[in-house]
């Protein structure tokens, strides 16, 4: 680490003070002259034909400026993978929460009252709530016109047919032979519920359509370029006519990628000639946003007596809800990762994403990952127990190691899984005596790959030698800090001399959306390259002005010095100003890269729990994570990412569950839908393994997604270790534990 | 003109529809959560020591969040040429309108009330209102510490001493010999009053200082980079800690260059932790902004009987008011242009800018130009009459022509002055019979040079092949349209595919401020170069993908074609996307240039007037302009610039006069300070001469400033032609005409 000056150091986040002080401008903070407030009317039926929408009373309400329904919006549909989602329901509603109408009014109160005055006449249709039912050949097809739907950006990701909007299948080796060589075959089924990203800031969008037709959209989006592309497609406009300005983002975790409010805001603004803002309520968020897909995992593994896995079959069924969104991608990721971080020569994996009349699932930190990891890692412990092998041992035995080929086709150089397993086990005192009864320890490992995306970024030297960096990436988790670090490193400048701003779709170069653990890996690299390009330009001018070869120069602390001649030097400000004035050279570096190969990450986590056998309550005493992050660009920031992901994983393990009753969300508030708070988890220990990636900046890999994968299995395994019951359907509620304890006592 | 497709054509302004519909966001339209409204307390004394400022009552007023005075602001002073101006009066006030205190409150009403509650105790000091008095060796020095003042950006522009804050002197040939060779010597004195730019949008600034210390300023500024530099200097901060976002600008004409409200907004925001906005009232504008300097011009010319000028001496004294601002620059420009557009071998010109206790003059369209042009061109007619020579003839005889060297040291290629004189004369029917009594015709010519400044700009190709252009220049007069035209021309794209945005100090490359007739000349060139760079990048990728030499390709309408093979083609969108994905090449062109040599412009204007000898009223029947603009990038836009400049010149000729009484502005509203409205001028004919510049884009020169120079003299000459009286002190009011007619009748 010592070879670097700024990267690899835990410098404070550049946005820390302003965020903590509550001074950043989030989506709902946008204020424009004459701005109207919008509200959406959501469907109250899970599946119904719209016979009539009577907006007359709403329109007559003083202060109401426009009311729109499906007839006022583009007929085109949007979608990342399958273009199946209308801006507003066109003739049918497909879930409770489908967008039916929207209002723009002078005040939020008026808009809400107007929404309550809209009368919708529905004709109910039979609903499908179980993806297994929906997959049946004779099932009613929810999207009658599915064959006519266009394909989105990720067009080639999977097949589809009827209610199956995504299907991915992978096969390797000879699964039949593998199973025939096994001493024992284990089959299990696991389920995970719908869980919500629980970001604190709700969706917020503001649109201003000018008389010229020029559209400006402010959105708490994870990707301004994707949103612009979606809007350009929907409204059939050139991108030059649309500007998307990403606001500060108060949490997203995948939930703020696809358009949600923006198209309706654009239509309302176009109609009223006024800016229109929409902010979702928490209830809106819980019923009409894009949570994690419920998963059903069937897993079958053949093993030798010594624990060696000979074959595996995994089928993952994700419940897509009403629309596909990123569901087929999640099913793909779950299937491709169906072997876990293990070397399994013979395998068959299949992932399905299936339409139902439920809220549409979307992206949520490691889409597909937590579902399949819960299954694999619970299953591993079940096998270990049946074989009488230590859970740590069976993982070490089968884990991907030096020389193995990872899922992304690269040879693994060093045994990162082994390192992380040992550290996680050690962290929870694996094998040591326990401090009391009903205590248990569990391990779980996982793999993930970060995305590789073409990325670009510019570094401009200001007239005083400080630097302005424009990135097209949204800073959700400290990425602007990492970008500043890379620039500070390469230009040998203090962090305070570097200002990183997130640009809009006009001012920034194209950047990937903030997701897929992509930003540090791709934009960090672009920042490094841009700063190197900037440095080259500076050195060229300095060499000319100082009359020496570039090799004789060094750059430090805002100065370029002639080595060994301490009095011969120029400040970056002077270099910049004279370059501009006399050469017409504006010192601005561009860093851009083609989509790099993804990096493959492995990790292990351990949990020590105590189960109250009277109440069924699980108390987490210790949570430990050991992750290979390639190179920790900012160790504190990495630790924060790991902890944050694990807390979300813990929520999904123990408490979170969007409960539906006939398609209605029963717990649409944080009062009923509990997410972990500080009292629910212990301090979390993290341990970083650094096996440098080939293509990431300074060897870094992605960090954001992996930590959410193992917690549920680690906790479930610890619960089993503590009280001998295995919960296979998340969340692990006290009720389920008590029930399982009763069953166990009965047998 | 036909060689180009888009430049040289009168395409509509890209901002026309949104501006006309009132939908653009100007300075006062910025709204931020928790934003406070600020108001300034201005001095009521022309020159006084501040003994005490009692802010207690203001501070106690509910809703008041902060009150600041000189003790709360940086001790540093600012100034473009001389750093003499404090953010707020430190111990003395130097004019009625000097900034004494400022308030930030929850509402504007509260802020205004608070300002009225501040009690300032002054000790009056003797005031200097006449620059001739102030120049005297024994005059009290208004700025006691003038020798300690730093120098601003234009540091080398002139000398100073005592109350003379700017002094420029030029001499050529042998003036004594020239005068001795003359047959006659003419001496005249002319004066011009203080006139206001009269922009419709008042100054408006908003500052937000975040807890981290990061400063964001929204300002209706003409130059975000200059404002950032000023603020960085005042607050001793690196530029990376300050972002200036220029808002749309509702007229400026030079009046929105220097900081005015911004530093106080920053101090108030820092103190309150809230965004603070200040918007000037019209009264504030009239007393505390930066109007055109009153001028006193002494001009002495030696001529042969045939009208040949043998020598000239000009002394220009500009009344700087309390601070220097751009005054020394205006005095420099007036002096350097003291020969007018004439070839005068022997000359001595001297320009003074002198402190008085009056409002501080600033930049106003062609600073120094209208003052000296009024003198020169009135004087030319006086000479012509005395010699019995036609005013057109004396101008043609002495005018700069082919082979002469212009003031900027370049040989004049063709006789642009002759062309413009003939066209202007013809336009007003020079030499033809007049339609009635008391009608007269007048001519006036002028020269000006546009500024050359280092400039840069980027053109980015979007994923669909449209283009986003980021310019650091503020669009005051259609410059973004011209930039779009240059990009459309070079990329062979329709205008609708090009979006030009004005970036802030972080997102845009450095650009000159909007002034000095610089933007089309410098940024238009940068746009042309950036688009050419973009084109090169596109062609390189296209050639590789199509497998042909670049020479075989043509770019048209968003496609690159293989010449002669109509089916072999790629869209710019496809080229862009694949370049990014597979090569990591983001197609973004940079255009930058070192400061080009200025371009030299000459023009002539003609007026036909009718004077009502009963009322003294002057009615303008015809106003004609013929200008050499190098190349009219957008003829309609050029015509608009010429007309706008002439209307402002007409206002200064006939009606505008900031009247002072003991330092107090007597007419601080548009009710009392009249500017021309549509009823005050005829439709104005313009005629464009195109003598291509060497360095401007497509041969263009600057257009903005020159047209304001000749109107006053053309009208004064026409009035003389009509009724035989010559008004030498602007404005030419009915009262002055009647008085002159009476005097003439008496003699």
Q: Is the pLDDT of residue A1 over 70?
A: no
Please name each of the domains of chain A with its CATH number. Answer: 16-22+452-593 (3.30.365.10), 31-127+201-250+256-288 (3.90.1170.50), 400-450+598-746 (3.30.365.10)
Q: Give residues with Cβ within 8 angstroms of B579, minimum separation 6.
A: B537, B541, B585, B586, B587
Nearest to A516 by CA among A477, A483, A480: A477
Q: Is the pLDDT of residue B406 over 90?
A: no
The pair of three-digit structure tokens given for residue B704, joined into one six-digit string: 């903005």
Cis upstream peptide for B731 (omega within 30°): yes
The pair of three-digit structure tokens given for residue A526, joined into one six-digit string: 């672009």
pLDDT band of residue A142 (cuts 50, 70, 90) is very high
Cβ contact, residue pair B499, A241, below 8 Å: yes
Distances (CA, A) of B177 to A739, B299, B301: 117, 17, 13
Cβ proximity of B327 and B223 under 8 Å: no
The pair of three-digit structure tokens given for residue B543, joined into one six-digit string: 């050639």
Residue-wise pLDDT for A365-405, tens only, equals 999 999 999 999 999 999 999 999 999 999 999 999 988 88
Q: What's the rounded Cα separation, in Å, for the pair B406 and B398?
A: 13
Nearest to A51 by CA among A126, A119, A144: A119
Question: For residue A157, what pLDDT is reported?
Answer: 65
The side-by-side arrangement of strands in the sheet containing B309-321 is: B159-161, B164-172, B347-355, B309-321, B295-303, B184-192
When scoring A454, A487, A513, A534 by the number of chain B Cβ atoms within 10 A, the one with the most, hence best to mutate, is A454
User: 3-state SS of chain A: helix, strand, coil percent to 5?
Assistant: 30, 30, 40
- Between CA A307 and CA A311, with CA A308 as vertex, the angle to 5 degrees is 120
Q: Give residues with Cβ within 8 angstroms of A182, minimum separation 6.
A: A302, A303, A304, A310, A311
Residue-wise pLDDT for B669-698, tens only, equals 999 999 999 888 888 999 999 999 999 999
When scoring B507, B534, B557, B576 by the number of chain A Cβ atoms within 10 A, the one with the most, hence best to mutate, is B507
Cβ contact, residue pair B464, A239, below 8 Å: yes
The pair of three-digit structure tokens given for residue B93, joined into one six-digit string: 């006030």
Find the residue in A nearest to B18 (Cα): A211
Q: Is the pLDDT of residue A413 over 80?
A: no
**DSSP single-letter state for residue A405:** B
Question: For residue B1, what pLDDT is reported?
Answer: 45
Q: Give residues with Cβ within 8 angstroms of A506, minimum separation 6.
A: A243, B460, B468, B470, B499, B501
The pair of three-digit structure tokens given for residue A428, joined into one six-digit string: 């929870």
**Residue that is written with structure tokens 């000729």 in the block:** B653
Q: Is the pLDDT of residue B231 over 60?
A: yes
Q: Is the pLDDT of residue A2 over 70?
A: no
**DSSP single-letter state for residue B468:** E
Q: What's the rounded Cα separation, in Å, for the pair A167 and A353?
A: 6
Cβ contact, residue pair B590, A593, below 8 Å: no
Our separate counts of H helices and E strands in chain A read 18, 33
Cβ proximity of A398 and A383 under 8 Å: no
Residue-wise pLDDT for A108-135, tens only, equals 999 999 999 999 999 999 999 999 999 9
Per-window interface: A 358-377 vs B, CB < 8 A: none
Question: Nearest-CA distance from A473 to chain B in Å?
Answer: 14
* Crossing angle of helices B391-398 and B369-387, rounded to 10°: 110
The pair of three-digit structure tokens given for residue A649, joined into one six-digit string: 């994983």
Per-window interface: B 302-341 vs A, CB < 8 A: none
Taking the alpha carbons at both ends of chain B, their separation in whole angstroms is: 56
Find the residue in A nearest to B577 (Cα): A454
Higher pLDDT, A2 or A217: A217
Cβ contact, residue pair A232, B501, below 8 Å: no
Question: Nearest-CA distance from A144 to chain B in Å?
Answer: 31
Q: What's the rounded Cα separation, in Å, for the pair B528 and B525?
A: 5
Q: Give the mean model confidence (pLDDT) for residues A436-450.
A: 96
Helix H or strand E segment including A576: helix A572-578
* Crossing angle of helices A327-336 and A369-387, rounded to 10°: 30
Distances (CA, A) of B281 to B31, B69, B104, B202, B286: 18, 20, 16, 7, 9
Residue-wise pLDDT for A590-648, tens only, equals 998 888 889 999 999 999 999 999 999 999 999 999 999 999 999 999 999 999 999 99
CA A161 to mean position of chain CA atoms: 27
pLDDT band of residue B107 (cuts 50, 70, 90) is very high
Q: What's the rounded Cα separation, in Å, for the pair A661 and A659?
A: 7
Question: For residue A298, what pLDDT is reported?
Answer: 98
Cβ proximity of A689 and A627 under 8 Å: yes
pLDDT band of residue B712 (cuts 50, 70, 90) is very high
**Residue that is written with structure tokens 């002057």 in the block:** B618
Helix H or strand E segment including A192: strand A184-192
Distances (CA, A) of B23 to A18, A32, A36, B16, B383: 31, 11, 14, 10, 52
Q: Is the pLDDT of residue A733 over 70?
A: yes
Q: What's the rounded Cα separation, in Å, for the pair A647 and A244?
A: 32
Q: What's the rounded Cα separation, in Å, for the pair B349 and B163?
A: 20
Cβ proximity of B307 and B339 under 8 Å: no
pLDDT band of residue B451 (cuts 50, 70, 90) is confident
Q: Is the pLDDT of residue A438 over 90?
A: yes
CA dihedral B510, B513, B514, B516 (to 10 degrees): -120
Question: For residue B157, what pLDDT is reported?
Answer: 65
Pairing of strands A309-321, A347-355: parallel
CA dihedral B557, B563, B564, B569 (to 10 degrees): -60
pLDDT band of residue A155 (cuts 50, 70, 90) is low
Where is average pLDDT lowest: A207-216, A597-606, B256-265, B400-409?
Answer: B400-409
Question: Nearest-CA distance from A308 to chain B in Å?
Answer: 41
Q: What's the rounded Cα separation, in Å, for the pair B542 and B563?
A: 13
* Crossing angle of helices A224-235 and A262-272, rounded to 10°: 50
Q: Around Cβ A704, how many Cβ atoms within 10 Å?
A: 29
Residue-wise pLDDT for A379-390, tens only, equals 999 999 999 999
Question: Nearest-CA distance from B686 to chain A in Å?
Answer: 29
Question: For residue A211, what pLDDT is reported?
Answer: 93
When scoring B30, B216, B218, B462 by the number of chain A Cβ atoms within 10 A, the one with the most, hence best to mutate, is B462
Q: What's the rounded Cα separation, in Å, for the pair A558 and A274?
A: 47
Is B582 an 8 Å CB contact of chain A?
yes
B169 phi/psi in degrees, rounded to 5: -135, 135
Q: What's the rounded Cα separation, in Å, for the pair B86 and B83?
A: 8
Cβ proximity of B353 and B166 under 8 Å: yes
When scoring A155, A238, A581 by the number of chain B Cβ atoms within 10 A, the one with the most, hence best to mutate, is A238
The pair of three-digit structure tokens given for residue B507, joined into one six-digit string: 């997102």
Cβ proximity of A553 and A547 under 8 Å: no
Q: What's the rounded Cα separation, in Å, for the pair A495 and A489?
A: 9
Cβ contact, residue pair A499, B595, below 8 Å: no
Question: What's the alpha-carbon Rg for chain B, to the nearest Å?
Answer: 27
Q: Give the mean model confidence (pLDDT) for residues A261-285.
A: 98
**Rounded percentage of chain B residues whose pLDDT exceeds 70:** 99
Question: Nearest-CA distance from B510 to chain A in Å?
Answer: 8
Which of A31, A212, A466 shows the shortest C-beta gap to B32? A31
Find the residue in B nearest to A495 (Cα): B240
Per-window interface: B 197-216 vs A, CB < 8 A: 210-212, 214
A-B contacts at Cβ under 8 angstroms: 188
* Crossing angle of helices A479-491 and A524-546, rounded to 10°: 30
Cβ proximity of A412 and A567 under 8 Å: no
Q: Give residues with Cβ within 8 angstroms of B675, minimum separation 6.
A: B196, B198, B648, B651, B655, B656
Q: What's the rounded Cα separation, in Å, for the pair B650 and B370?
A: 11
Question: Nearest-CA distance from A547 to chain B in Å?
Answer: 21
Higher pLDDT, A445 or A453: A445
Q: Give residues with Cβ within 8 angstroms of B58, minimum separation 6.
A: B64, B67, B103, B114, B115, B117, B118
Our separate counts of H helices and E strands in chain B read 18, 33
Residue-wise pLDDT for A220-243, tens only, equals 999 999 999 999 999 999 999 999
Question: For residue B583, what pLDDT is reported?
Answer: 85
Question: For residue B413, what pLDDT is reported?
Answer: 72
Q: Is the pLDDT of residue A82 over 90?
A: yes
Cβ contact, residue pair A454, B580, below 8 Å: yes
Q: Give the mean model confidence (pLDDT) for residues A666-681.
A: 94
Distances (CA, A) of B135 to B145, B297, B333, B353: 17, 15, 20, 9
Residue-wise pLDDT for B173-230, tens only, equals 999 999 999 999 999 999 999 999 999 999 999 999 999 999 999 999 999 999 999 9
Question: For residue B412, what pLDDT is reported?
Answer: 82
Cβ proximity of B423 and B610 under 8 Å: no
**Residue that is written with structure tokens 């595996």 in the block:** A312
- Between CA A568 and CA A576, with CA A573 as vertex, the angle to 5 degrees is 100
Cβ contact, residue pair B509, A594, below 8 Å: no
Which of A454, A467, A506 shows the shortest C-beta gap to B499? A506
């Amino acid at each position: 680490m010592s070879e670097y000056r700024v990267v690899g150091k835990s410098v404070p986040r550049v946005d820390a003070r302003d965020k903590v002080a509550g001074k950043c401008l989030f989506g709902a903070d946008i204020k424009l002259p004459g701005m109207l407030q919008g509200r959406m009317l959501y469907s109250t039926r899970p599946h119904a034909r719209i016979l009539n929408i009577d907006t007359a009373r709403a329109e007559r309400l003083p202060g109401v400026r426009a009311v729109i329904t499906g007839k006022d919006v583009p007929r085109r549909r949007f979608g990342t993978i399958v273009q199946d989602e209308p801006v507003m329901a066109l003739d049918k509603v497909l879930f409770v929460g489908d967008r039916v109408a929207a209002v723009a009014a002078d005040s939020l109160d008026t808009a809400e009252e107007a929404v309550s005055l809209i009368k919708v006449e529905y004709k109910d249709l039979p609903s499908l709530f179980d993806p297994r039912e929906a997959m049946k050949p004779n099932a009613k097809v929810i999207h009658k016109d599915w064959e006519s739907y266009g394909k989105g950006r990720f067009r080639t990701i999977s097949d589809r047919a009827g209610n199956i909007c995504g299907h991915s299948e992978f096969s390797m080796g000879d699964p039949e032979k593998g199973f025939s060589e096994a001493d024992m075959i284990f089959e299990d089924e696991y389920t995970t519920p719908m869980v919500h990203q629980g970001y604190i800031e709700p969706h917020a969008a503001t649109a201003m359509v000018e008389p010229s037709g020029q559209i400006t959209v402010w959105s708490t989006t994870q990707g301004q370029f994707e949103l612009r592309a979606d809007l350009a497609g929907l409204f059939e406009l050139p991108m030059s006519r649309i500007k998307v300005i990403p606001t500060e983002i108060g949490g997203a975790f995948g939930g703020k990628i696809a358009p949600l409010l923006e198209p309706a805001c654009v239509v309302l603004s176009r109609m009223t000639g006024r800016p229109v803002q929409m902010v979702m309520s928490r209830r809106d968020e819980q019923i009409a946003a894009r949570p994690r897909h419920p998963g059903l995992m069937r897993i079958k593994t053949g093993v030798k007596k010594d624990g060696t896995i000979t074959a595996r079959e995994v089928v993952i069924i994700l419940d897509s809800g009403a629309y596909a969104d990123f569901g087929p991608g999640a099913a793909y990721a779950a299937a491709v990762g169906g072997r876990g971080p293990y070397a399994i020569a013979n395998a068959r994996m299949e992932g399905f994403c299936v339409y139902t009349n439920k809220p549409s699932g979307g992206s949520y930190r490691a889409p597909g990952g937590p579902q399949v990891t819960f299954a694999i890692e619970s299953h591993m412990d079940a096998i270990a127990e049946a074989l009488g092998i230590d859970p740590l041992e069976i993982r070490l035995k089968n884990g991907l190691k030096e020389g193995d080929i990872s899922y992304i086709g690269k040879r693994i150089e060093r045994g990162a899984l082994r390192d992380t397993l040992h550290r996680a086990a050690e962290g929870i005192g694996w094998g040591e005596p326990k401090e009391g009864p009903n205590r248990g320890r569990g391990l779980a490992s996982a793999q993930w790959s970060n995305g590789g995306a073409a990325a670009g970024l510019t570094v401009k030297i200001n007239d005083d030698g400080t630097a302005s960096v424009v990135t097209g990436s949204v800073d959700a988790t400290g990425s602007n800090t990492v970008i500043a670090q890379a620039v500070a490193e390469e230009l040998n400048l203090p962090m305070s001399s570097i200002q990183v701003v997130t640009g809009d779709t006009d001012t920034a170069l194209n950047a990937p959306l903030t997701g897929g653990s992509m930003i540090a890996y791709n934009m960090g690299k672009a920042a490094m390259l841009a700063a190197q390009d900037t440095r080259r330009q500076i050195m060229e001018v300095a060499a000319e002005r100082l009359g020496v070869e570039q090799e004789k120069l060094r750059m430090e602390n805002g100065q370029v010095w002639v080595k060994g001649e301490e009095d011969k030097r120029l400040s970056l400000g002077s270099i910049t100003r004279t370059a501009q004035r006399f050469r017409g050279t504006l010192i601005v570096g561009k860093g851009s890269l083609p989509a790099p190969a993804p990096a493959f990450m492995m990790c292990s986590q351990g949990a020590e729990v105590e189960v109250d056998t009277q109440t069924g309550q699980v108390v987490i005493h210790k949570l430990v994570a050991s992750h290979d992050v390639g190179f920790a660009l900012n160790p504190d920031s990495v630790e924060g990412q790991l902890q944050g992901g694990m807390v979300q994983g813990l929520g999904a393990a123990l408490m979170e569950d969007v409960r539906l009753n006939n398609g209605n969300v029963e717990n649409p508030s944080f009062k009923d839908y509990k997410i972990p708070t500080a009292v629910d988890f212990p301090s979390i220990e993290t341990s970083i393994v650094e096996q440098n990636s080939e293509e990431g900046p300074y060897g870094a890999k992605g960090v954001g997604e992996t930590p959410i994968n193992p917690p549920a299995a680690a906790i479930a395994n610890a619960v089993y270790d503590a009280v001998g019951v295995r919960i296979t359907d998340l969340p692990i509620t006290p009720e389920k534990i008590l029930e399982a304890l009763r069953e166990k006592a009965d047998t």
